[in-house]
Amino acid sequence: MRITDIECTTRRLPLHETWDGGLDHHDVLVTRVHTETGVVGTGLGWTPRVGIAAMRAIVTEDCSPLLVGRAPDPVPRWRELYERLHEAGPEGISAMALASIDIALWDVRAQVAGSSLVDLLGRHRDVAPAYGSGVNLDKSLPELLAQVRHMLESGHTALKLKVGSADTERDVERVARVRELLGPGGKLMLDANQRWDLPTARRAIDTLARFDPHWIEEPLPADDFPAHERLRASTAVPFAIGENLRSVRRFRDALVRGICDVAQPNVVRVGGITPFLRIAELAATYDVPVAPHLLPELSAQLALCVPLVSMVEDIDRAGLEDLGALSRPSGVLVDASGARADTGPGHGLEFAAS
């Protein structure tokens, strides 16, 4: 079986509410890999702010000529495309474009095998734990508490909220009120989204540690590993990092330095399913669980396949189906009872016409 054509379309998906910092949409690149037998695999590229046109150009101009006429085998094709795109930089836009092809090729392989993606990759579990999450730093305290009550009413006993306010006392008040609502037995995750420098992170974590955070996410700029090491020396609060680490090697370095207690790879940002699986296996050798970042319809499937899993993020009305991107339900569910997948052959993601 050979690849006959690569088709790319883009979609802009308006969010139901503006996220912190004024983000009001996500851009999606849909890549379809056509084969001579009629099997079509669908891949996904994603970016919340910039780069969608560049991603499409990389796929159509730089990748398609290398793929047409070749067998749709994801692992060797990923390696060849990675080497081709390395001149433009192995991370960032290049990796996100490559991801859309890699995901499509895995979809082809699963369909040909008559298997779901989860069972093709190797199902480790039928359900992965999930936590309720909100993009809520810009919300007022009453709005935040209303959001938290909604998540608790839906059955969540693990929650994540944003920190990193200019005034640390604002964070303290908000975390204290959420911990009060959640109760002492619930898991409470905090996400600073790289907003702190090292002195601020030390002071903030010292102050917030009394609320027993299950983890602190991205306390520092993602690429500043030496600062993470210095921060690690001053706190026992676990670090969750990885949504802005863009390669297997970056995760390797974080694990070796002991600054990654929960790994959060984004399947698109790291370059696709092929490198995501390598990251998950690498993390397992350090006894570090994986909590896939965003894209719940795909992240949930991967969470069922990794050796060690933490939790899947359940952001209200932020999935591809919630945003109107899909033409039919994917067969993936993420809610308070966990993340589950029953997709039929392939990964189950069928995108609506733009």
Cα first-last separation, the chain: 29
Question: Which tens digits make up the pLDDT trace of 301-336?
Answer: 999 999 999 999 999 889 999 999 999 999 999 999
Question: Which tens digits make up the pLDDT trace of 265-288?
Answer: 999 999 999 999 999 999 999 999
Question: Which tens digits make up the pLDDT trace of 156-184?
Answer: 999 999 999 999 999 999 999 999 999 99
The domains found in the chain, sorted by start residue, are 3-114 (3.30.390.10), 119-341 (3.20.20.120)
Calculate mean pLDDT across residues 51-80. 97
**Per-residue pLDDT, 354:** 67
Neighbours of 206 (CB within 10 A): 12
The conformation of residue 88, written as its DSSP 8-state character, comes to G
Alpha-carbon gap, residue 338 to 207, rounded angstroms: 31
Answer for the pair 248, 224: CB distance below 8 angstroms, yes or no.
Answer: no
**Nearest residue to 268 via CA among 241, 240, 245, 239:** 245
Residues with active-site annotation: 162, 293
Whole-number percent of the chain with pLDDT over 90: 97
Question: Which tens digits make up the pLDDT trace of 9-40?
Answer: 999 999 999 999 899 999 999 999 999 999 99
**Per-residue pLDDT, 306:** 98
